[in-house]
Amino acid sequence: MGVGGATMDERVPRDFETLRATILDRRASLPKRIAQIAAYALDNPDDIAFGTAASIAASAGVQPSTLIRFAQQLGFDGFTSLQQVFRERLRERNSSYDERLAALRAKAEDGGGHRAIFDGFVAAASTSLGDISRSLNDAHFEEAVALLAKAETIYVLAKRRSYPVASYIAYALGKLKIRNQLVESAAGLNAEMIGFATPRDAVIAISFSPYAPATIEETRSIAEQGVPIVAITDSSFSPLAQFAKVWFEVAEADFGGFRSISATMALAMALTVAVGEKRREAGRRRKG
């Protein structure tokens, strides 16, 4: 008691930046071994996030107890709570928008006005774009483009929430003068339409959970005819994945129960234009 007052009053740093500032601030006044572990922590934050007290202590050349004393001097009640801050940092780097989204959600819920709803959808869209940009596999993309580029006719298959994407693809393919067929249900002739597809054609199928049964059924049926399928869906466990030659997993963030579709849209646009590009290349080669 008594002397320790200064330490006890202090608030515990809850985010990495504050923690870092605190450490740098006190650096001069820290005892030797504590300073040693402090330096190590700032230099190797990932090790702190994942290591055990013993392993970190060993790497830093100190005793586990020193590590705990270090945490306690910063106001944490032990190594474990210090470690939380380092872990949080890694999570946030991956999805910096997630927190913002949660805040907006809260704001929208307790009557932050309608602007909050708009902000929420913008944030959800940004998050989704960030995710897909990280996770898209180049090789899969190339494969899909190659597969679609050599198709005689591209069939586009999607219902309900995914339908807007399909209609965009159909529009863009048309613009690029690529023969395509949007499988719509207006006249109930989908089965017949699908029947015309051959292995020389290709399909883009899009469906997200809860998967529209019609989309699944039609995809199965067209796959059985030997037509190669490119699927855009939300989980590798999607029923679409099993029928597809190539599939893309797109994780869309949601806001107020409505999922974004911007990542899917961006992927769809890219696929379409890349297919156009590839055909142009092929055309040039034939002529030249």
Partner DNA sequence: GTCAATATGAAATATTAATTCCAATCCGCA
Partner DNA sequence: TGCGGATTGGAATTAATATTTCATATTGAC
**Gap between the Cα atoms of 126 and 23, Å rounded:** 34
Q: Does 195 sit near DNA (CB under 7 A)?
A: no
Hey, which residues does 206 pair with through a beta bridge? 232
Count of chain residues binding DNA (CB under 7 A): 24
Q: Does 178 sit near a second copy (CB under 8 A)?
A: no
Residue 138 or 224: the one with the smaller Cβ distance to a second copy is 138
Tell me the three state secondary structure of residue 129.
helix
> Residue 149: which of DNA, a second copy, none does it interact with, CB under 5 to 8 A by kind?
none
Residue 183 or 267: the one with the smaller Cβ distance to a second copy is 267
Q: Does 34 sit near DNA (CB under 7 A)?
A: yes
Q: How far is the CB of 78 from DNA (least distance, A)?
A: 2
Query: Of 194-223, which residues contact a second copy (CB under 8 A)?
Result: none
Tell me the three state secondary structure of residue 218.
helix
Count Cβ atoms within 10 A of the Cβ of residue 271 and give its class: 0-12 exposed, 13-18 middle, 19 or more buried: buried
Q: Are 116 and 107 in contact (CB under 8 A)?
A: yes
Q: How far is CA 215 from CA 8, 89, 157, 228, in A?
A: 62, 41, 7, 15
Q: Cβ of 91: how many Cβ atoms within 10 Å?
A: 12
Q: Does 156 sit near DNA (CB under 7 A)?
A: no
Instruction: Kindly write out the interface string for residues 118-147 of this chain, putting x where it contacts a second copy by CB under 8 A and - elsewhere.
Output: xxxxx--xx--xx-xxx-x-x--xx--x--
DSSP state of 152: S
Q: Does 256 sit near DNA (CB under 7 A)?
A: no
At what angle are helices 79-94 and 16-26 packed, to 10 degrees? 130
> Residue 71: which of DNA, a second copy, none does it interact with, CB under 5 to 8 A by kind?
DNA
> Residue 63: which of a second copy, DNA, none does it interact with, CB under 5 to 8 A by kind?
DNA
Q: Cβ of 64: how many Cβ atoms within 10 Å?
A: 15
| Region of 25-33, 84-92, 140-148, 236-244 interacting with DNA (CB under 7 A) | 25-33
> Residue 233: which of DNA, a second copy, none does it interact with, CB under 5 to 8 A by kind?
none
Contact positions toward DNA, by CB under 7 A?
3, 31-34, 52-55, 62-66, 68-69, 71-72, 77-81, 83
